[in-house]
Protein backbone atom coordinates (compact mmCIF):
# COMPACT_ATOMS: atom_id res chain seq x y z
CA UNK A 1 0.00 0.00 0.00
CA UNK A 2 1.29 3.42 -0.94
CA UNK A 3 0.03 6.62 0.68
CA UNK A 4 -0.53 9.14 -2.11
CA UNK A 5 -1.66 12.13 0.01
CA UNK A 6 -1.95 12.78 3.73
CA UNK A 7 -3.43 16.00 5.11
CA UNK A 8 -5.93 17.49 7.57
CA UNK A 9 -9.60 17.62 6.75
CA UNK A 10 -12.29 19.63 8.49
CA UNK A 11 -15.93 18.54 8.39
CA UNK A 12 -18.03 21.62 9.07
CA UNK A 13 -21.60 22.90 9.04
CA UNK A 14 -20.05 26.29 8.09
CA UNK A 15 -17.74 25.19 5.28
CA UNK A 16 -18.15 28.40 3.25
CA UNK A 17 -16.85 30.49 6.18
CA UNK A 18 -13.88 28.17 6.64
CA UNK A 19 -13.03 28.25 2.94
CA UNK A 20 -13.00 32.07 3.02
CA UNK A 21 -10.77 31.97 6.13
CA UNK A 22 -8.25 29.62 4.49
CA UNK A 23 -8.27 31.78 1.35
CA UNK A 24 -7.25 34.70 3.58
CA UNK A 25 -4.36 32.51 4.80
CA UNK A 26 -3.20 32.07 1.20
CA UNK A 27 -4.85 28.77 0.27
CA UNK A 28 -6.51 28.40 -3.12
CA UNK A 29 -9.34 26.10 -4.15
CA UNK A 30 -8.11 23.21 -6.30
CA UNK A 31 -11.37 21.35 -6.85
CA UNK A 32 -14.67 20.78 -5.07
CA UNK A 33 -16.51 17.59 -6.02
CA UNK A 34 -19.94 16.86 -4.55
CA UNK A 35 -20.74 13.25 -3.66
CA UNK A 36 -23.70 11.31 -2.28
CA UNK A 37 -22.67 9.73 1.04
CA UNK A 38 -25.76 7.62 1.53
CA UNK A 39 -27.17 10.18 3.98
CA UNK A 40 -26.62 13.48 2.18
CA UNK A 41 -24.77 15.34 -0.54
CA UNK A 42 -21.34 16.54 0.61
CA UNK A 43 -19.04 18.97 -1.17
CA UNK A 44 -15.40 18.51 -0.26
CA UNK A 45 -13.17 21.43 -1.22
CA UNK A 46 -9.46 20.72 -1.68
CA UNK A 47 -7.24 23.71 -1.00
CA UNK A 48 -3.50 24.21 -1.40
CA UNK A 49 -1.11 27.04 -0.57
CA UNK A 50 2.05 28.22 -2.34
CA UNK A 51 4.25 26.05 -0.10
CA UNK A 52 2.35 22.90 -1.11
CA UNK A 53 0.38 22.42 2.11
CA UNK A 54 -3.14 21.05 1.58
CA UNK A 55 -6.37 21.03 3.55
CA UNK A 56 -9.76 19.62 2.67
CA UNK A 57 -12.96 21.23 3.92
CA UNK A 58 -16.20 19.27 3.66
CA UNK A 59 -19.61 20.83 4.19
CA UNK A 60 -21.61 18.61 6.54
CA UNK A 61 -24.76 20.46 7.59
CA UNK A 62 -25.86 17.79 10.09
CA UNK A 63 -22.86 18.33 12.40
CA UNK A 64 -23.30 20.55 15.48
CA UNK A 65 -19.68 21.79 15.21
CA UNK A 66 -16.46 21.33 13.24
CA UNK A 67 -14.72 17.95 13.35
CA UNK A 68 -11.06 17.54 12.42
CA UNK A 69 -9.88 14.30 10.83
CA UNK A 70 -6.95 13.10 8.74
CA UNK A 71 -7.47 12.39 5.07
CA UNK A 72 -5.31 9.56 3.80
CA UNK A 73 -5.41 8.71 0.11
CA UNK A 74 -3.93 5.35 -0.85
CA UNK A 75 -3.31 3.40 -4.02
CA UNK A 76 -5.08 0.24 -2.74
CA UNK A 77 -8.22 0.85 -0.68
CA UNK A 78 -8.85 -2.79 0.28
CA UNK A 79 -5.28 -3.36 1.47
CA UNK A 80 -5.30 -0.17 3.57
CA UNK A 81 -8.80 -0.87 4.92
CA UNK A 82 -7.86 -4.40 5.98
CA UNK A 83 -4.62 -3.19 7.60
CA UNK A 84 -6.44 -0.52 9.62
CA UNK A 85 -9.19 -2.94 10.71
CA UNK A 86 -6.49 -5.45 11.78
CA UNK A 87 -4.91 -2.65 13.86
CA UNK A 88 -8.18 -2.13 15.72
CA UNK A 89 -9.73 0.70 13.72
CA UNK A 90 -13.53 0.73 13.74
CA UNK A 91 -15.74 1.44 10.73
CA UNK A 92 -18.79 2.44 12.75
CA UNK A 93 -21.11 3.40 9.90
CA UNK A 94 -20.12 0.49 7.69
CA UNK A 95 -20.74 2.90 4.81
CA UNK A 96 -18.19 2.91 1.98
CA UNK A 97 -18.85 5.80 -0.39
CA UNK A 98 -18.11 4.87 -3.98
CA UNK A 99 -18.28 7.15 -7.00
CA UNK A 100 -16.82 6.85 -10.48
CA UNK A 101 -13.62 8.54 -9.26
CA UNK A 102 -13.37 7.85 -5.51
CA UNK A 103 -13.83 5.22 -2.83
CA UNK A 104 -13.79 6.30 0.83
CA UNK A 105 -14.68 5.31 4.39
CA UNK A 106 -14.39 6.99 7.79
CA UNK A 107 -12.41 4.84 10.24
CA UNK A 108 -11.72 5.52 13.94
CA UNK A 109 -8.54 4.40 15.68
CA UNK A 110 -8.55 2.65 19.07
CA UNK A 111 -7.36 5.94 20.65
CA UNK A 112 -10.02 8.03 18.90
CA UNK A 113 -8.45 9.83 15.93
CA UNK A 114 -10.16 9.38 12.57
CA UNK A 115 -9.00 8.73 9.03
CA UNK A 116 -10.99 9.51 5.93
CA UNK A 117 -9.50 6.60 3.99
CA UNK A 118 -9.70 7.29 0.25
CA UNK A 119 -8.60 5.87 -3.05
CA UNK A 120 -8.90 7.93 -6.21
CA UNK A 121 -10.02 5.73 -9.08
CA UNK A 122 -8.06 6.41 -12.23
CA UNK A 123 -9.54 5.33 -15.52
Cα distance between residue 91 and residue 84, in whole Å: 10
- Region 3-120: CATH code: 3.10.180.10
Q: Where along the chain do its domains lie?
A: 3-120
Cα distance between residue 36 and residue 40, in whole Å: 6
Is a pLDDT exceeding 70 seen at residue 117?
yes
For 15-26, what is the mean pLDDT? 96
For residue 10, count other CB atoms closer than 10 A to its CB. 20
Q: What is the pLDDT of residues 35-50, one digit of tens each?
A: 665 666 677 899 999 9
For 103-116, what is the mean pLDDT? 95
Amino acid sequence: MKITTFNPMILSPKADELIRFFEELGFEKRHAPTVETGKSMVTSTRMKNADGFCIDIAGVDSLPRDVQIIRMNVDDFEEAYNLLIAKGFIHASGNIVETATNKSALLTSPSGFQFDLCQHIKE
